[in-house]
Structure 1
Amino acid sequence: MLLWINGPFGGGKTQTAYEIQRRLRGSVVCDPEHPGFGLRRMLPPELRGDFRELASWREGVVEVLDLALTRREGVVIVPMTVTDSGCFAETVGRLRELGHDVRHFTLLAERETVLRRLRERSLGDLLRGLGRKNAPLRNESWAVQQLDHCLERLREEEFAEHLWTDRSTVPKTADRIAVLAGLTLRPNNEGALRTRLRQVRIGIRHVRFD
């Protein structure tokens, strides 16, 4: 089985994916951003755009996920924002055509909730806390520029199942996905402080500078 976790940038996809992986034995997170940013870096700066528009990315993601699903046991978890119908068909749809059991979930939240989450993970806010008062805010980033488009597109029926997360913690969102997918997660016995520290580590590992 493949769990594709969709949602706006800053919507909690990656944190939720790693929460499921932590509590689901044999599962693995496969992040399509890794090849995407690699392909983007291959291009001259003036040609760098949205890597999801590259056919090589879409085809490569399907090839790699097909390999992971075919050659190993366990659930594959994919945190990736996809808002374009064509891209969705060429990734999620293509994997289903290949015979894989793909469960798709979209994490949604109100605009202010997502903005708050983006500020919390903001490198600029972190640097402010260290005394660099002129550090840039994430609300000037590409993620925020795409936010309204993402929220509008992802509310459409083709991107169901929709899960609203404004009043849900990451562990609770993971629990909801597991129930809907027919999976059983290990109990979440982690304390609030340890959970927060682990989530900070995950966030730092996924900071993008380009």
Structure 2
Amino acid sequence: MKHPFAHYRSLFPVLESKIHLASCSQGAISKTVSESIEEYMNSLLSMGVNWNQAIKEVEKAKSSFAKLIGAAPDEIAVFSSVSDIFSAIASSLSFEKGKNIVVTTDMDFPTVGHVWLAQEKFGANVRFIPSQQGVIPLEYYERYVTSDTLITSISHIGYHNGFKQDIQAIAEIVHRKGSLLLVDAYQSAGQVPIDVKKMDIDILAAGTRKYILGIPGISFLYTVDEQFL
């Protein structure tokens, strides 16, 4: 009996000779992605400048990602990396006295902590929620997020052990405290369902090279606030 996923597996040449377990770093590249890259490169060779095509493809990508996370295309912006997104978000915030706390966790990707710590010279007060045996208890958010918290920056799924957080429950806590919620979905987008409206996420960042099975150099920002676009 032919496996129902046999057709999809045939799109990924690497699966003919290997068991691909590296999607946490780089997802397997499909024939369709490879063909799209080749098509774009050929257009550069033949036309020299292909601005209209490039913009068209960017809009298609925004629409596809919006559909993936339950957002509208005009709520999506395209960046070169998630680190770039975090830097853009961090540098757009005003860390005023009385509302200057940034809460993140010790399980987030190191770049995230670096970006937030770099804001201390601008008045940010960065606090790290500690993990406990590889997880972050939900009640820790009640303890560490206060009325002085400007933004809570967390991962949907942990990059080093796969710990998945209850984003909707966390959103209820941080919003009750008056904090924005920024979610790093690099390890979740493409492999688990995401509905930014239902989960009540204010800002979400994700890239394409992992479980979206794309290439490096492209990331997406979702936000409900136009100041970040």
Pairwise TM-score range, normalised by the shorter structure: 0.3 to 0.5
Higher relative contact order (CA 8 A, sep 6+): 1
Q: TM-score, normalised by structure 1?
A: 0.36
The structure with the greater share of residues assigned to strand is: 2
